[in-house]
Amino acid sequence: MKIVLIGFMGSGKSSTAEMLGTRLSQPVIEMDEQVLQRTGAVSMDEVFQKGGELLLRETEIAIAKELSEGSDTVVSTGGGVVMNKIIIDYLRQNGGQVVYLSASFSEIATRLAADPTPRPLFTDRAQAEDLYTFREPLYRRYADAIVETDGRSIAEIAQHIISTISPANEPDISTH
Ligand code: S3P
């Protein structure tokens, strides 16, 4: 089962992917980490210094193209993958199920205030909120499933995803 987690920065994609990977015994692919490896940067700030947002988006497209081959993985995307539909198209290949981790902007802002990871597109709260408002309909449009995360633990979110989209939980119709 290939699960692709999308959502805004701070929506819990990485933590949820880690738990899903453990629970489903599937490898987890962190797109942000792959971006750092491929660009030779140590942080997203450095990626932006090297080549701006364009470098990030081009690298994401190349990574998604390679991931289109894989199956039985959990892919944690960067929050901006919905800016390029081709990324979603690649990640959907081989049965990829796209799950949107939805969180309110206020919850996201609270979570990110406590997160030391550099996020070049979340330096100004008002601008970040505009970006959130712009992207929210895109996450919904591309999602096969939507999980509301406010007030839910990572374990609850992972369990919800497993019980709604894992094939092991689909009724076995082969005997009917
Ligand atoms: C970005 C989200 C970040 C990272 C980069 C840009 C975005 O990933 O890819 O800083 O455009 O929303 P996370 O969603 O994992 O924070």
pLDDT of residue 24: 95
**Element holding 127 (H helix, E strand):** helix 125-142
Rounded to whole angstroms, the Cα distance separating 149 from 24 reads 20
- Tell how far the Cα of 160 is from the centroid of ligand 1, in angstroms: 24
Render 55-121 in DSSP notation, one character per residue: HHHHHHHHHHHHHTT--S-EEE--TTGGG-HHHHHHHHGGGPEEEEEE--HHHHHHHHHT--S--TT
Tens digits of residue pLDDT in 1-30? 999 999 999 999 999 999 999 999 999 999
Burial class (CB in 10 A: 0-12, 13-18, 19+), 36: middle
- Atom of ligand 1 lying closest to residue 11 CA: 14
| Among protein residues, the one whose CA lies closest to atom 11 of ligand 1 | 80
CA of 8 to the centre of ligand 1 (A): 7
Distance of alpha carbon 133 from alpha carbon 35, whole angstroms: 25
- Pocket residues: Cβ below 6 A from ligand 1: 9, 13, 32, 44, 78-80, 119-121
- For 145-163, how does the pLDDT look when each residue is reduced to its tens digit (9 = 90+)? 999 999 999 999 999 999 9
